[in-house]
Each structure stands twice: as C-alpha cells, then as structure tokens.
Amino acid sequence: MATRSYTSRRELEEYHFSPFVTVLAPLVLIFLQAYLPKVFPRLLILDLPLIAVIFFSVSRRSPIAGSLTGAAIGLFQDLLTHQPIGVNGMAKTVIGYAASSIGVQVDVENLTTRILMNFAFSLLQSVLLFLINRNLLGVHGYKTQWVHELIRAGINTGVAIPLFLVLDRFKQHE
C-alpha cells in the first residue's frame, strides 16, 4: 500500500547556505559590480547584485528572507554607487519577495525556468527603477531605452546561468 506524505514541496526543497557563503557571495558580486565598470565601462550593463538576490531568494523560498536579502543587497549596492540611498534597495526588495514567492510554487532548478525568471526579473527591475526615479524621486529627465533594457536582461540572464551553477555547489539541505 502506497503511503502519502503531507510534507509540502517547500519543506522538501528549501536550501540553506553557510554564513560564510551567505555574506561573501553577495559582497563579492556587489564589489565586482562597483569596480569592474570603472576598468571596463561596457560592463555597466551587468547587474550582479540582482543575480545574487534572485539566486538566494529562490533557493531559500521564504518571502521574508527574500525581501530582507533584496533590501540588504540593494542598500549596500546604493552605498557604492552614485544613486540615492534606497533606490536599488526598494527595487531589489520587491524582486527578492517575488522571486522567493515564485520559488515556492515553481521548480526553480529547471534551466528554462531559471532563464525565464532571470530575464523577467531583470526587466521588472528596470520598470521598478524607472517608476522609483520618475514617481518617487521626481526625476522627470529620467529616461529608459527599452531596447537597451531588453538587451541588458538578455546579457544578465546569460551571466546568471553559469553563476547559478557555481552557487548551486554551496547549497546545503537542512
């Protein structure tokens, strides 16, 4: 006779990371984001902290943890850029919440899902940054070239997939 388990999918596939990886990986990506474009200006198109937010949020599958991860990474990114403090923090908090909420419902280990998620969240962040700058900060000269944002989403997705594979090696089950 087959037995049924009433353990939820969230309880079965929730991952944890050592405190060292939890702190070091996002910090490395934030510092690379801050300093690589100074040496190679074309790398401004990348958003490595966004990739970290998406990865850690979907892996933990907790909307609260995803929101806190997004807020912390976004605020730290704001400290190292010339943007007003909180702009990336707000956008990445929303991304962290949404990514972790989707992580509960969808198989986020699937390559196709990862590609779609990264592309969609990169575009969502562009929309959020546009809205925050235009509506909350009142920067009426803030313009976005949406074709550039599509290209940016594609490049960030292309960088995210191999980075996810590297970070997957540090996942720990409870």
Query: Is 138 part of a structural domain of the chain?
Result: yes
- pLDDT at position 7, please? 45
Q: In this structure, which amino acid lies at residue 123?
A: L
User: CA-CA distance, 64 to 169, in Å (whole number)?
Assistant: 24
Q: What is the CATH number of the domain that holds 132?
A: 1.10.1760
Query: Is 4 part of a structural domain of the chain?
Result: no
- pLDDT at position 92, please? 97
- pLDDT at position 139, please? 87
Going residue by residue through the chain, which has 174 residues, state the pLDDT in tens, using 9 for 90 and above.
Answer: 455 444 454 444 667 888 889 999 999 999 999 999 999 999 999 999 999 999 999 988 899 999 999 999 999 999 988 888 999 999 999 999 999 999 888 888 899 999 999 999 999 999 999 999 999 998 888 788 999 999 999 999 999 999 999 999 988 766
Structural domain that includes position 89: 9-169
Domain total in the chain:
1
- pLDDT at position 13, please? 62
- Structure-block tokens of residue 33: 């984001």
Q: What is the pTM of this model?
A: 0.89
Residue 16 exposure: Cα atoms within 13 Å on the Cβ side: 6
Query: Is 2 part of a structural domain of the chain?
Result: no
- pLDDT at position 17, please? 87
- pLDDT at position 10, please? 46
The 10s digit of each residue's pLDDT in 26-35 is 999 999 999 9
User: CA-CA distance, 172 to 87, in Å (whole number)?
Assistant: 32
Query: Is 3 part of a structural domain of the chain?
Result: no
- pLDDT at position 12, please? 44
User: DSSP letters of the chain?
Assistant: --------HHHHH-EE--HHHHHHHHHHHHHHHHHHHHHSGGGGG--HHHHHHHHHHHHHT-HHHHHHHHHHHHHHHHHHSSSPTTHHHHHHHHHHHHHHHHHHHS-TTSHHHHHHHHHHHHHHHHHHHHHIIIIIS--TT----HHHHHHHHHHHHHHHHHHHHHHHTT-EE-
User: CA-CA distance, 125 to 129, in Å (whole number)?
Assistant: 6
- pLDDT at position 5, please? 45
Q: What's the burial of 14, exposed, middle or buried (CB within 10 Å: 0-12/13-18/19+)?
A: middle
* Category of 121 on φ-ψ map: left (φ > 0), alpha (ψ -120 to 50) or beta: alpha
Query: Is 126 part of a structural domain of the chain?
Result: yes
Query: Is 174 part of a structural domain of the chain?
Result: no
Query: Is 73 part of a structural domain of the chain?
Result: yes
Query: Is 1 part of a structural domain of the chain?
Result: no
